[in-house]
Amino acid sequence: MADGKTSLLPRGPVGVWRAMRWSLQGLAIAWRTEASFRLEVYLCVPLVPLGFWLGQDAVERVMLVGSLLLVLSAELLNSAIEAVIERYGSEHHELAGRAKDMGSAAVFVLMMNVLVCWGLLLVPRWLGH
């Protein structure tokens, strides 16, 4: 565990605060070092409020906004995988390449999920169905 503790007991307020700081640090690092993450955040800036506005109820809003947040989460995980692989060397290795490609594919699949969610919820409405 990141804090070096193996207890099953809750962390308490200090532990929660530390975990939040580490998470915010991770977001800041991703913002500084990952162009793909920045691009996806730029896309979310208008789309998240639009999703809240276009969703007619809580479930639709969760689908529209949640699908976008999943892309950001997958991008963070993909970047983490790539960082670990680079830590062990930049020379080509089949397994390293496979891991990077699969991480990228996960982001792509979730981007397709955004299109499906937004399309299935909004296109029928725009077509008057």
Q: What positions carry a catalytic annotation?
A: 75
Helices 58-87, 35-54: crossing angle, 10 deg rounding: 170
How far apart are alpha carbons 5 and 3 in whole angstroms? 6
Are the CB atoms for 77 and 97 separated by under 8 Å? Answer: no
Q: How far, CA to CA in Å, does 25 sit from each of 20, 22, 28, 79, 126?
A: 8, 5, 5, 14, 41
